[in-house]
Amino acid sequence: MSLEQEINKRKTFGIIAHPDAGKTTLTEKLLLFGGAIQEAGAVKSNKIKKGATSDFMEIERQRGISVATSVLAFEYKGKKINILDTPGHKDFAEDTFRTLTAVDSAIVVIDVAKGVEEQTIKLVEVCRMRKIPMLVFINKMDREGKDAFDLMDEVEQNLGLQVTPLSWPIGIGATFKGIYNIWEKNINIFSGDNKQKVSETTKIEDLSSPELDALIGSNYAENLRNEIDLIDGVYPEFDMQEYMNGNLQPVFFGSALNNFGVRELLDAFIDIAPTPQSKETDIREIEPYENKFSGFVFKIHANMDPKHRDRLAFIKIVSGKFERNKNYYHVRQGKNMKFAAPNAFFADKKEVVDESFAGDIVGLHDTGNFRIGDTLTEGEKFSFKGIPSFSPEHFRYINNADPMKAKQLEKGIDQLMDEGVAQLFTLEMNNRKVIGTVGALQYEVIQYRLEHEYGAKATYEPFTVHKACWVEVENEKSEEFQEFKRVKQRYLARDKFNQLVFLADSAFTIQMTQEKFPSIKLHFVSEF
């Protein structure tokens, strides 16, 4: 197979959802369709268990599972599908944001009864900003829930999407009978009382045909005809280009648990979801079909066994072919490296592979060379863009509690930050270290891992920060900037990449600072 054919086979995506909407169930059903697993229950849910959020060991448990579910790959109808895991829990939002830099498209799962929820809003916003093509799957249609049209409105208004249905439910909850597949013009209806079975697929070219009445009964048939008429009048026709540009999101209905509507979703996904896309670097755009390999680190996973300090760095291949034992260039460190045992991921295992292609993810064993966002190439010097840090929600000073272990603490903090567990800010004034996290739980995890993996002891001290603002300044010599630095010196810090950050203590401070220093721009994201 040529390089181009290999790459065109690949579809790499993430499923985003608020916890409990059915992401794990849907993933599992997709894997079952691909023949990648044999039975339900094979994919472990890595969500934080209800009521266990105060237990930081839960995060450790989750970490153990998440390496297994980080990438799940399977083949379906001649395509290679890579599903990247995106934790829905808000304490892992940063992890999910970064994973979204490595997907070429996304499926958004929404619970029909709950509608659009908080985490969905945040994650869809990130996809929208990056123009990632999205499909929407409305799940749990076997339960009583919101009216399909109301839900479409809610998705448009709360998620800011322009939607068009490609499948439509016939009834809902107790009266849920089946799905009309607008994309393929056919109907699947349930058989049996338990709604577990799908009867034969019936092709319906013309909805006015009496065949429809015979199939689902006159009442349902009439209703469906009216609803499809309304859909034709209200929603735009599906347009491939609009979808690819992130301007139009097709919607599907179903029940992942009952395996209903999942095949329709998967078949449409195979037809329309994008193959590996090009990506911007600091000097030029990289096309997937370029002969030379390039890729970037979007996730680092520490070994669960504290005796083995090695880590697994997850690389998204952006262009060309990655080969085992070939020399590659680590751009940030300016050195060549080769990898004897690159891992590729399958549904239930990871294996050493000789080659992987653009769109794929490889896991590289790392002893501390990689940091999230790092670029690997065949020698060319460029760095991929679009792997930003967002302002953390919580901030605390970190102190060394064991002076004999200062080196271990430094190393531990450094490596945990490379992994993306939290963000480190070093105050300019006195070099004190401030740790910023998305969830308060992360502090306990950091303390625990520093002690158990690095033999270091740390304590925290409160530091009131509302938001980390990355500072953009046109002229560093300007009087305004010098004045800004003088007035705000106690709150100025450097992030891991030595970028200047203003740790503002309130929204009011941010507003006042912007008014007082108009030439200085403050950003809540590290890339601007």
Rounded to the nearest angstrom, the gap between the alpha carbon of residue 122 and the centroid of all alpha carbons in its chain is 11
| Ordered alpha helix ranges (H), 130-234 | 148-159, 210-216, 218-234
Residue 141 Cβ, how far from ligand G4P at the closest point, in Å?
Answer: 7
Residue 29 Cβ, how far from ligand G4P at the closest point, in Å?
Answer: 9
Strand segments, DSSP code E, in 129-261 are 134-139, 163-165, 167-170, 178-181, 186-191, 197-198, 202-203, 249-253
Residue 24 Cβ, how far from ligand G4P at the closest point, in Å?
Answer: 3
Residue 264 Cβ, how far from ligand G4P at the closest point, in Å?
Answer: 14
Q: Is residue 142 at the binding interface for ligand G4P, with CB under 6 A as the rule?
A: yes
Interface residue with ligand G4P, options 21, 187, 318, 435 (CB under 6 A): 21
CA torsion 447-449-453-459 (nearest 10°) is 0
Residue 69 or 391: the one with the smaller Cβ distance to ligand G4P is 69
What span, in angstroms and rounded, lies between the C-alpha atoms of 493 and 391? 13
Residue 135 or 256: the one with the smaller Cβ distance to ligand G4P is 256
Residue 139 Cβ, how far from ligand G4P at the closest point, in Å?
Answer: 5
Interface residue with ligand G4P, options 6, 8, 16, 25 (CB under 6 A): 25
| Ordered alpha helix ranges (H), 420-525 | 441-454, 479-487, 507-516
β partners of residue 255: 260
The token pair at 261 is 């509507």
The token pair at 234 is 């209200």
140 a known binding residue?
A: yes
φ/ψ of residue 12, rounded to 5: -115, 120
For tokens 């940063």, name the residue: 94
Interface residue with ligand G4P, options 99, 105, 120, 255 (CB under 6 A): 255
Residue 15 or 317: the one with the smaller Cβ distance to ligand G4P is 15
Residue 143 Cβ, how far from ligand G4P at the closest point, in Å?
Answer: 5
What span, in angstroms and rounded, lies between the C-alpha atoms of 349 and 333? 31
Residue 39 Cβ, how far from ligand G4P at the closest point, in Å?
Answer: 14
Q: What is the CA radius of gyration of the chain?
A: 25
Residue 208 Cβ, how far from ligand G4P at the closest point, in Å?
Answer: 31
β partners of residue 316: 296, 361
Handedness of CA 229, 230, 233, 235 (dihedral sign): negative
Residue 143 or 494: the one with the smaller Cβ distance to ligand G4P is 143
Tell me, residue by residue from 74 to 103, as one string, x for binding to ligand G4P by CB under 6 A and - for no binding: --------------x---------------
What span, in angstroms and rounded, lies between the C-alpha atoms of 240 and 221? 29
141 a known binding residue?
A: yes
Q: Is residue 120 at the binding interface for ligand G4P, with CB under 6 A as the rule?
A: no
**What is the DSSP secondary structure assignment for residue 85, as one 8-state letter?**
P
What span, in angstroms and rounded, lies between the C-alpha atoms of 134 and 181? 18
**What is the DSSP secondary structure assignment for residue 237, as one 8-state letter?**
P
Q: Is residue 22 at the binding interface for ligand G4P, with CB under 6 A as the rule?
A: yes
What span, in angstroms and rounded, lies between the C-alpha atoms of 110 and 523? 31
Judged by CB under 6 A, the stretch of 23-31, 263-271, 363-371, 405-413 that binds ligand G4P is 23-31
Residue 13 Cβ, how far from ligand G4P at the closest point, in Å?
Answer: 16
Judged by CB under 6 A, the stretch of 13-21, 172-180, 328-336, 337-345 that binds ligand G4P is 13-21
What span, in angstroms and rounded, lies between the C-alpha atoms of 74 and 470? 40
Interface residue with ligand G4P, options 3, 9, 44, 45 (CB under 6 A): 45
Interface residue with ligand G4P, options 12, 24, 99, 447 (CB under 6 A): 24
Alpha-carbon separation of residue 331 from 3, 70, 163, 371 (angstroms)? 24, 25, 41, 11
Judged by CB under 6 A, the stretch of 251-259, 323-331, 393-401, 495-503 that binds ligand G4P is 251-259
Interface residue with ligand G4P, options 257, 362, 424, 445 (CB under 6 A): 257
Q: Is residue 69 at the binding interface for ligand G4P, with CB under 6 A as the rule?
A: no
Interface residue with ligand G4P, options 7, 16, 17, 417 (CB under 6 A): 17
Q: Is residue 47 at the binding interface for ligand G4P, with CB under 6 A as the rule?
A: yes
87 a known binding residue?
A: yes
**How many residues of this chain bind ligand G4P (CB under 6 A)?**
19
The candidate with the shortest Cα–Cα distance to 305, out of 124, 63, 40, 108, is 63
Residue 98 or 140: the one with the smaller Cβ distance to ligand G4P is 140
What span, in angstroms and rounded, lies between the C-alpha atoms of 322 and 290? 12
Footprint of ligand G4P (CB under 6 A): 17, 19-25, 45, 47, 88, 139-140, 142-143, 255-258
Q: Which residues are part of a known binding site for GTP?
A: 85-89, 139-142
**What residues form the annotated binding site?**
85-89, 139-142
